[in-house]
Amino acid sequence: MSSMGSLAFDEYGRPFIIIRDQDSKSRLTGIEAQKSHILAAKTVANTLRTSLGPNGLDKMLLSPDGEVTVTNDGATILDKMDVDHQIAKLMVQLAKSQDDEIGDGTTGVVVLAGALLEKAEQLLDRGVHPIRIADGYDMAARIATRRLDEIADAYDVSPDNLEPLIQTAMTTLGSKIISRFQRKMAEIAVNAIMAVADLERRDVDFELIKVDSKVGGKLEDTMLVKGVVVDKDFSHPQMPKEVKDAKIAILTCPFEPPKPKTTHKLDIKSVEDYKKLREYEKKKFTEMVEQVKATGANLAICQWGFDDEANHLLLQRELPAVRWVGGPEIELIAIATGGRIVPRFSELTADKLGKAGIVREIDFGTTRDKMLVIEDCHNSRAVTIFIRGGNKMIVEETKRSLHDALCVIRNLVKSGNIVYGGGASEIACSLAVSQQAEWVSTIEQYAMHAFAEALESIPMALAENSGLHPIRTVADVKSRQLKENNSRLGIDCMGNGTNDMKEQHVFETLIGKKQQINLASQLVRMILKIDDIRAPGGY
């Protein structure tokens, strides 16, 4: 069987994988099936390999309706790729579980799984049973995670010493489109997390961080707002553009007269009846506005709309208002300002009002787009990261990049241990696994050596993507780690002249690195244990 796989594109430009000769055989069994699976997984891993590290390249993905995504994020690439093979789908899920659990390191985990399978293929060719390979990998993964614990540096998260947090966030952002403003974006991410973090419980509530964006402007115009940004403006153009010391009534009841809630018809047979109805409506409107004003509120935020008459009345009574504010925003405003959401006018009291230092309307460029910024809130724990960018693709990629950075900092707040990046921790684990394998007398030692070699695929890819000689560079760093007994030495991707990742401030979270090794080895063990695919219509 010619076990070649190739990457092809459909008419929409979506990549998919063709495994040759597979359609001609209704069923593959035994070693043939395993090789076919390994090939599919390797093809996926090789697609992502070039995206690894600070010099990794981006991928452009086209959706069926022609929408373009440019991204460096492993989970996004796999999610949008049209994967046609069962094992390749498992790789997609692998990246997703790393993304859900850790939020970063999605490319690395897929590249590692691909390398482990590639090494397993060589052992299968030499007649080693897949179960023995899986057991050897299991032993090696335990040694590797133990080694990570040994080389990790503890870091105590405190508001006075944010530098290590910023450096770790910068490492995450180094491989992204926004690396030109690495420092600024890292500081935004760290300040956002520290604003909402509960350091006593070591917990971060992601619900309190809202990421909003507006196309236009420069990337460096991205800002962190200690409060909420709402994509709405004041309901009347003559209302003030700024309200200081805002006392906000948050209403989910419509600003309109009560309607009969029945199917009955209301007939108006004379002009007097019509006038009476109109007077009644006006009286009700005035009552509603007065009820809001009586509580001391100087701003109304309404979930529903109101008509022009109500709008004019609000302007006359000098009560600025915002209409059609969505449910999630209403909740966030209530949390941020310490207010209560009021479902009926009769229930509105002064203690239910939200408080904010300033509510202002901002407009953008020449487009007349307007947004509302609610700052200096009573409960300053709710924050908004407001992203600007030249086009939709950059804004979306910035969102994904900042999500990774936010997740990494959250993980550090939860368990503040860091290991060194740039492939340093992988090389240290690889050396530890190799040394331990010498003491194993059974056939598993071959699998352990294979695991050690596979771990080197990460520094290898980093060197390759940085234009260095991969084999020579990795061999050099390995021998130096052994000689100097220094597990901080990694690949100098940026040409800073030192291989010590502590000096280069390249950090990764211990929890993320351990998860990568564990997830990749679990998936590979699962794939190795499959020796048959039965499709519908097969025999």
**Which active-site residues does the annotation give?**
73, 106-107, 404
Ordered DSSP codes for 188-253: HHHHHHHHHEETTTTEE-GGGEEEEEEEBS-GGG-EEESEEEES--BSSTTS-SEEEEEEEEEE-S
- Which letter does DSSP use for residue 532 in this model? B
Query: What is the spatial distance between Cα 509 and Cα 155, in angstroms, rounded to a whole number?
Result: 10
Query: What is the spatial distance between Cα 65 and Cα 55, in angstroms, rounded to a whole number?
Result: 30
The tokens for 101 are: 């659990």
Give Rg (Cα) of the chain: 30
Asked if 220 contacts 239 with a C-beta cutoff of 8 angstroms, the reply is no
Ordered DSSP codes for 2-26: ---EEEEE-TT--EEEEETTTTT-S
Query: What is the spatial distance between Cα 26 and Cα 402, in angstroms, rounded to a whole number?
Result: 46
Q: Return phi, psi of residue 277, to 5°.
A: -60, -40
Helices (H), 50-181: 74-80, 86-101, 106-125, 130-151, 163-173
- 174: helix, coil or strand? coil
Query: What is the spatial distance between Cα 521 and Cα 526, in angstroms, rounded to a whole number?
Result: 9
- 153: helix, coil or strand? strand
- Paired sense of beta strands 383-389 and 223-225, if any: antiparallel
Asked if 307 contacts 324 with a C-beta cutoff of 8 angstroms, the reply is no
**How far is residue 476 from each of residues 469, 481, 497, 507, measured CA to CA in Å?**
11, 9, 14, 21
Sorted by sequence, the CB contacts under 8 Å of residue 356 that are 6+ apart come out as 227, 246, 248, 336, 337, 374, 375, 376, 377, 378
Q: Residue 441: is it exposed, middle or buried by C-beta count within 10 angstroms (0-12/13-18/19+)?
A: exposed
Question: Half-sphere exposure of 278 toward its Cβ, with a 13 Å CA cutoff?
Answer: 8
The tokens for 16 are: 């998919």
Residue among 14, 139, 193 at smallest CA distance from 437: 139
Sorted by sequence, the CB contacts under 8 Å of residue 346 that are 6+ apart come out as 291
Residue among 176, 40, 41, 174 at smallest CA distance from 111: 41
